Structure 1
Amino acid sequence: MAFELHEPAPDLVCSARGCRAVAAHALLWNNPRLHTPERRKTWLACGEHLDHLTAHLQVRGFLREVEAVAGPAPLAGQRTA
């Protein structure tokens, strides 16, 4: 699916199964058996699923860091509050 430059990006959606909530956190992880140490994969989490997804990765030793996800940038010509 290609996006034109003038189209807004799709919302960042939580990675929890069946969840369609907007993500507030990025969980950066890798599987040391498969990935080089600098490689990072990303799961997104809403506030409701942050603890569950974090625990899932931590118990396997995959979680590397958690970062806040920035909101979408305003489109050209839009005013910000």
Structure 2
Amino acid sequence: MNELVCSRAGCRNAATKRVVWRNPRIHAADREKIWLACDDHVEFLRDYLAARDFPVTVRDGVPA
């Protein structure tokens, strides 16, 4: 089985969290995008999206 890895460019660490977001200018309110994050990069990815005024939440676990 393939291990899910962090979405941060160049990172190959195992993902432990989901960074769930959407771009309200192009996505409907029920559309969610998911980036996977390791513990080292979850704050970076969340802050990157929040700086663009995208609704963003962090959830524990990764998709099965």
TM-score, normalization: structure 2? 0.89
Query: Match for residue 33 of structure 2?
Result: 41
Poorly superposed stretches of 4+, deviation over 6 Å: none
Give the whole-Å Cα distance in 2 for the aligned partners of 1:70 and 1:30.
18
Tell me the equivalent position of 2:14. Answer: 22
Greater length-normalized contact order (CA 8 Å, ≥ 6 residues apart): 2
Residue pairs, 1:1-81, within 5 angstroms: 8=1, 10-70=2-62
Structure 2 stretches lacking a partner, 5+ long? none
Q: How many residues were matched structurally? A: 64
How far apart, CA to CA, are the structure 1 residues paired with 2:32 and 2:63?
21
CA distance in structure 1 between the partners assigned to 2:28 and 2:55 by the alignment: 14
Larger Rg: 1
Q: Quick check: 2:6–2:14 contact (8 Å CA) kept in 1?
A: yes
